[in-house]
Structure 1
């Protein structure tokens, strides 16, 4: 799939570096556009963004093409994004519920997207040896799968848009909700949580997200199982990306993300029953 060449206006304006995110470096704003290096998942991401535009989903940037420097060009999404240190409002339950509604809106819009011929997720990256099994449920849509506070844009206290689709891939709806819970409940050892969320009632926050999303009873019963299986796989995936891709992936691995994933798995083993009880209670 050949990307469209972006035609610059006569006076595009200066390049303003944008902070945030864990991996992608060199992101800048130019006028009303954002310029990002082309990622390894770019063909899928560009096709997905075109689909979201075609179906009228307002909560994503528009893909405009590739500029003369070889960077993808996206529309700039206005609003508020949680940077670091995390603001206190990441613990706000009204904002949390709005995250669940935005994820549901995105998933509904993405459900009709079909991968174009020849486009596959994470092309050129093979599954590493020893990778644990994936959850045994068929994919339902191409999910965003990176609902960090850096990637959700808020307006007037409501989650309004998603950015950074680099990890998009075919998944189930329960995997999408798990990913949102991972970052916003947050699912994991409290020692690894951002300060505003270290004393959070995690099962309660999981329930708020599930209710706002409109999660099915079946998916609620599968959530903990999927969370454990995905966590086990993520250790292998993160190590592989650190070794093969370097950059921000390698930095995160050096900073201990692998140990954090192991602590999350242990926390889920200890607390999964409480999370499931909160999700499935009448």
Structure 2
């Protein structure tokens, strides 16, 4: 769409929670609130491109009013309730492969130790590689049914590859009890089988496969703490989401389900 004077018209992009209503597309450029780590993050994204990872937005510039401009990544983004095409096994495999491509490039890029990377969803064990930490459906761009690009690196922080895989699994398997999953995901998704597909498509090592169920439980606890902090601060988006999705009882139910299914997940990953 263009304006009458020939310039690109503003288009508000939907999806996500943190920057809802604040992300604008102007032609081939997206403008959005800049994270505190924008300068270090932009340098990292440019370095990823130099190492062959072209599946992330390219930084354009930072504006004087605290926003960032990035190249627009064309394609389809799944929004809740998530459609069947986004939760197909082939889509899941492509997500695992794309995450591995990101990690292979990130492993070759030194993390800026001077940057104050966000800790809210970061790997508590730390690490030397910059993880995305938020590979949810709203942050994956699909083309022709395959995951083609990752967007929204606001929560990126140093960590281990297995942590980023665990965070990704939470959203794409999903690692939710059936009662919680039914509101957002298609029915009948086989969690252990899908976890194996993600691990296989990513190429997890045997040691990482053995660790993954425990790391998923740790990642779920971190996500719960993240929500609790936002709710305690009065963030209306997270307060509303918590209320609409069953409150803390939903988190209790999910954590109990993960614990009860741990052996099933480990068996699916290792056999």
TM-score bracket, normalised by the shorter chain, equals: 0.7 to 0.9
1:141-181 Cα shifts (integer Å, max 9, x gaps): 11111111111111111111000111111111111111121
Show the 5 A alignment for 1:41-190: 41-122=37-118, 137-190=125-178
Q: Could you tell me whether the CA contact under 8 Å between 2:86 and 2:145 is conserved in 1?
A: no
Q: CA RMSD in A?
A: 2.4
- 2:270 is the alignment partner of 1:274: no
1:40-74 Cα shifts (integer Å, max 9, x gaps): 44344323222222323111000111235431100
Partner of 1:4: none
CA gap 1:268/1:46 in 2 versus in 1, 3 angstroms? same
Q: Which segment is superposed worse, 193-202 or 56-65? A: 193-202
Q: Could you tell me whether the CA contact under 8 Å between 1:186 and 1:197 is conserved in 2?
A: no
TM-score (norm 1): 0.85
Distance in 1 of aligned mates of 2:68 and 2:249: 33
Partner of 1:219: 208
Picking from 4, 7, 17, the partner of 1:22 is: 17
Distance in 1 of aligned mates of 2:54 and 2:166: 23
Distance in 1 of aligned mates of 2:126 and 2:215: 12
1:85-124 Cα shifts (integer Å, max 9, x gaps): 321112211111011000000011111232325212128x
Note the residue ranges of structure 1 that are not aligned, 5 or more in a row: 1-9, 128-133
Partner of 1:197: 186
Partner SS, residue 80 of structure 2: coil
Distance in 1 of aligned mates of 2:57 and 2:141: 11
Q: Could you tell me whether the CA contact under 8 Å between 1:151 and 1:164 is conserved in 2?
A: yes
1:221-270 Cα shifts (integer Å, max 9, x gaps): 00111111222232222211333482534443444564433322111111
CA gap 1:12/1:242 in 2 versus in 1, 3 angstroms? farther
TM-score (norm 2): 0.88
Tell me the number of residue pairs that the alignment of Structure 1 and Structure 2 aligns.
263
Q: Which segment is superposed worse, 248-257 or 12-21? A: 248-257
CA gap 1:55/1:120 in 2 versus in 1, 3 angstroms? same
Note the residue ranges of structure 2 that are not aligned, 5 or more in a row: none
